[in-house]
Amino acid sequence: MKTKKILILGGVTEGYILAEELASREPFHPISSLAGRTQHPRPPVGETRIGGFGGVEGLHAFLLERAIDAVVDATHPFADTMGQHAALACDQAKVPLLRLERPAWMPQPGDCWHPVADWEQAVAFLQIQGARRVLLALGARELAPFSTLFDTWFLLRTVTQPDPMPPFTAAELLVARGPFTLEQELELLRRHEIDTIVCRNSGGEGAAAKLAAARELGIAVIMRERPQRPSLPSVATVAGALDWLCDQPG
């Protein structure tokens, strides 16, 4: 049986699981691609390449050089540049492309969510709302726009150390990697008397406890919505991606 080379654009857990599954199945040969942002990334099972391709042209060239049979875009919901590049390059190279993306969180009864399209809208909303004590549950590189709010106290929860640290007037930094339990989130929100949470709609179980805690405590959530992605075949699970790959001709 002819080997099928599958390029996995990775960056989140689902990409790792898909690589592991494909590596143990005939006729697949997974090639995982990581952006190279993390210093010592966990190596995926199977062949791995690290670093950008050099835009749409670079990815197009890679698809042809390596005779890739199909691509799975398993990048983070907010990694939309890579998603756009993959759609253009695969279209040009006539290589089938699948989007593997965990579903977005949906508000539930009792939630007090305010959707925003970008951080500028979130800053404006915090000002209008008169938020006093805010949890920013964001990436370390996304904090800066909020440091312009001088009358608000911030709890900055990031996975990595912000470098440089934006010049907040009043803030406490908490570098911590989830998942967090509901009890941990309730304790944190109560201890710091948080009145508003700012986060992105990443989806998944690992980061959802803060939303349940906000619901229980009646805390407002400013939720950044996901960027638009190209219209593509899309699945929410690794099992769905495996089915799609098995159905591809060739």
| Chain contacts with ligand NAP (rule: CB under 6 A) | 9-12, 33-35, 37, 52-55, 58-59, 75-76, 78-82, 85, 139
**Cβ neighbour number for residue 142 with a 10 Å cutoff:** 18
At its nearest, how many Å lie between ligand NAP and the CB of residue 169? Answer: 26
Q: Which is nearer to ligand NAP, 55 or 130 (CB)?
A: 55
Closest distance of CB 179 from ligand NAP, Å: 14
Q: Are 158 and 143 in contact (CB under 8 A)?
A: yes
54 or 110: whose CB is closer to ligand NAP?
54
- The answer to whether 157 touches 210, Cβ cutoff 8 Å, is no
Residue with tokens 């930094």: 173
In whole angstroms, the minimum distance from the beta carbon of 193 to ligand NAP comes to 28
Q: Judged by CB, which is closer to ligand NAP: 129, or 166?
A: 166
Q: What are phi and psi of 221, to 5 degrees?
A: -125, 120
Residue showing the smallest CB distance to ligand NAP in the complex: 11
In 3D space, the residue among 174, 198, 171 whose CA is nearest the CA of residue 184 turns out to be 174
* Pairwise CA distance, residues 47 & 248, whole Å: 21
Q: Distances from the Cα of 105 to the Cαs of 115, 120, 200, in angstroms? A: 12, 22, 10
CB of 90 to ligand NAP, least distance (A): 13
**CB closer to ligand NAP, 217 vs 236:** 236
Helix, strand, or coil (residue 71): strand
Q: What is the DSSP-derived secondary structure letter of residue 184?
A: H
Decide whether 27 or 36 has the Cβ nearer to ligand NAP.
36
CB of 202 to ligand NAP, least distance (A): 7
Q: Which two tokens stand for residue 27?
A: 């006729």
Of 19 and 59, the one with the shorter C-beta distance to ligand NAP is: 59
Joined together, the tokens standing for residue 67 give 């005779």
Question: How far is residue 57's CA from residue 65's CA, in Å, rounded to a whole number?
Answer: 12
Q: Which residue number, 41 or 133, has a Cβ lying nearer to ligand NAP?
A: 41
> Considering the complex, what minimum distance in angstroms separates the CB of residue 158 from ligand NAP?
11
In angstroms, what is the minimal distance from the CB of 52 to ligand NAP? 2
CA–CA separation, 91 and 83 (whole Å): 12
